Amino acid sequence: MQFINIHNHNKQCTNLALINLFPEDVAAIEETKFYSVGIHPWEVSKIDIDEQINTIKKAASLKNVLAIGEIGLDKLHSNFDLQKDVFLKQINIAKEVEKPIIIHCVKAFSELLEILKTEKLKIPVIIHRYSGNITIAGELLKFGCYLSFGHELFNTKSKTPKVFKKLPLENIFLETDDAEITIEAVYKKAAEIKNVTVTEINEKILSNFNICF
């Protein structure tokens, strides 16, 4: 059984994974692997934005660059207005090439929801490493968003497992992100929380993947 890993930082990953790359890493793209490329909100004040936006535009046309990401908003880091500007620029690239976006969002869901309302996106939107509450999740689902979960599913002190249990599988992805855990373990834990088989989880996420990509 092959497991889709929607967001992963391990460039050597052998599963069906979207490997996350920053623009400066696009030279490492291999034809046999799949990628997302984007400017992380933490990086916006450290880079030549115009240069990296142009790099993303070029990379976005490659067949095995399946998504623009991770991109987004993070209120725990500075230059929030600049983050938003760079985020919108990358959304426009995704709209042009009609590819999904993979979003990093920390304590900025009200701003994200406003952007989703304004942009009226027709491309798939995936919120990676979702850790918000069930109310925010419900608002995101109204826009057709997919929510991706990873190692937080193992944290019994977190609200994340309870939120995950309540969400429809039609809006779910699973990931490893940068955690030292296998995607197989994440699928097993997700199946346990949902009280379904790993095969059922796998089939539904494969369906979600085919719809998005």
Task: Band the pLDDT of 28: cuts 50, 70, 90.
Answer: confident
Q: What is the pLDDT of residue 182?
A: 93
Q: What is the pLDDT of residue 14?
A: 62
CATH no. for residue 64? Answer: 3.20.20.140
54, pLDDT greater than 80 = yes
Mean of the pLDDT values across residues 38-66?
A: 96
The residue whose two tokens read 């995950």 is 164
Mean of the pLDDT values across residues 60-74?
A: 97
Q: What is the pLDDT of residue 10?
A: 80
How many separate domains does the chain show? 1
Q: What is the pLDDT of residue 12?
A: 66
Task: Band the pLDDT of 60: cuts 50, 70, 90.
Answer: very high
Structural domain containing residue 181 = 4-212
Mean of the pLDDT values across residues 191-208?
A: 97
> CB 209: neighbour CB atoms within 10 A?
17
**Between helices 80-97 and 109-119, what is the axis angle to 10°?**
40
Q: What is the pLDDT of residue 15?
A: 66
Q: Is 68 helix (H, G, I), strand (E, B) or coil?
A: strand
Strand spans (E) along 9-124: 16-21, 34-37, 65-74, 101-106
Task: Band the pLDDT of 18: cuts 50, 70, 90.
Answer: very high
21, pLDDT greater than 80 = yes
Tally of CA atoms within 13 A in the half-sphere of 121 that contains its CB:
28
